[in-house]
Amino acid sequence: MTAPANRKRRKLLAAAASTVAAAPGLRLMEWAAAQSDAQPVTAATRWGLLIDTDKCAVDCDACVRACNDEHGLTGTGRPETDAQWIRKVTLTDEHSGRVTSLPVLCQHCEQPPCVDVCPTGASFRREDGVVLVDKHTCIGCRYCVIACPYQARSFVHENLTAQKPYSPRGKGTVEGCTLCVHRIDEERAPACVEVCNSGGGDDCGNGALLFGDLNDPQSAIARRLKSAPSRQLRADLDLNTGVRYENL
């Protein structure tokens, strides 16, 4: 079974599940039979993100706001301990003075140092390349925060109450960009990508973010990576990041 077909079926199951929730008992039998087909994600897909820094505007932080909204990351007025899954930075070349703007987030490495160092295996890499924290087994040692070369992880420093159902997070555990797996599993693009590619309103709609399957040679991201130069952050570490940058 090919990955897209697999994915489609899982999507349909999600829809079926919501029907059942609305009318439990009605279609339980068919649904129970169908769900035995649900397959876990496989390495046939590798999700990736290509960021064109030329299109990323210095004064735009729509991706950061979209992420905060999506995952319920609210500030407490203590920025040093607040969650920061994606952040905008401005770079000025020390010699030429060239200014670049770009978002930094979990780079979803193929060889993630956070996964290597995690004593309990809570930090893990999903088969489709998304690096996540299983908060059920995270003991809050923060070694992954130390080991991440991108400062992409946050530790939840205080009690939380208004979490989103699809994005559980809690005090004493470490978290980071999930590449919006809850959306990916439903065939939707991550929140930051969606907002960056939507025009009008407050959101800049610069179209700087391109999301897709790195393993599918026909995907827009794979074709773009093949045709134009791009780079990884800390390429010297040879982590094979899932997030790539253009014009950096």
Touching other proteins, residues 121-140 (CB under 8 A): 121-122, 124, 126-128, 132, 134-140
End-to-end CA gap in the chain: 38
* Positions in 56-75 near other proteins (CB under 8 A): none
- Exactly one of 63, 66, 118, 131 binds other proteins (CB under 8 A); that residue is 118
CB of 116 to other proteins, least distance (A): 5
CB of 110 to other proteins, least distance (A): 14
- Exactly one of 62, 104, 225, 243 binds other proteins (CB under 8 A); that residue is 104
Kindly state whether residue 92 participates in binding other proteins, applying the rule CB under 8 A: yes
- Exactly one of 29, 33, 217, 218 binds other proteins (CB under 8 A); that residue is 218
- Exactly one of 53, 65, 143, 247 binds other proteins (CB under 8 A); that residue is 143
- From the list 107, 119, 139, 130, the residue with the least C-alpha distance to 232 is 107
**Sign, Cα dihedral of 228, 229, 234, 240:** positive
Rounded Cα distance, 129 and 76, in Å: 32
CB of 244 to other proteins, least distance (A): 13
Total interface residues for other proteins by CB under 8 A? 126
- From the list 24, 174, 18, 19, the residue with the least C-alpha distance to 85 is 174
Kindly state whether residue 240 participates in binding other proteins, applying the rule CB under 8 A: no
- Exactly one of 56, 106, 221, 225 binds other proteins (CB under 8 A); that residue is 221
- Exactly one of 30, 43, 57, 116 binds other proteins (CB under 8 A); that residue is 116
Site string for other proteins, 5-34 (x = CB under 8 A): --xx-xx-xxxxxx-xx-xxx--x--xx--
Rounded Cα distance, 168 and 161, in Å: 10
Site string for other proteins, 191-210 (x = CB under 8 A): --xx-xx-x-----x-x-xx
Letter for the amino acid at 87? Answer: R
DSSP states along 221-233:
HHHHHHHS--B-T
Q: How many CB atoms lie within 10 A of CB 42?
A: 13
CB 42 within 8 A of CB 213: no
CB of 140 to other proteins, least distance (A): 2
Residues paired with 246 in a beta bridge = 52
For the purposes of burial, counting CB atoms within 10 Å of the CB of 93, is it exposed (0-12), middle (13-18) or buried (19 or more)? exposed
* Positions in 163-192 near other proteins (CB under 8 A): 163-166, 168-174, 181-189
Rounded Cα distance, 236 and 46, in Å: 21
As given in the structure block, the two tokens for residue 142 are 């923060």
Kindly state whether residue 43 participates in binding other proteins, applying the rule CB under 8 A: no
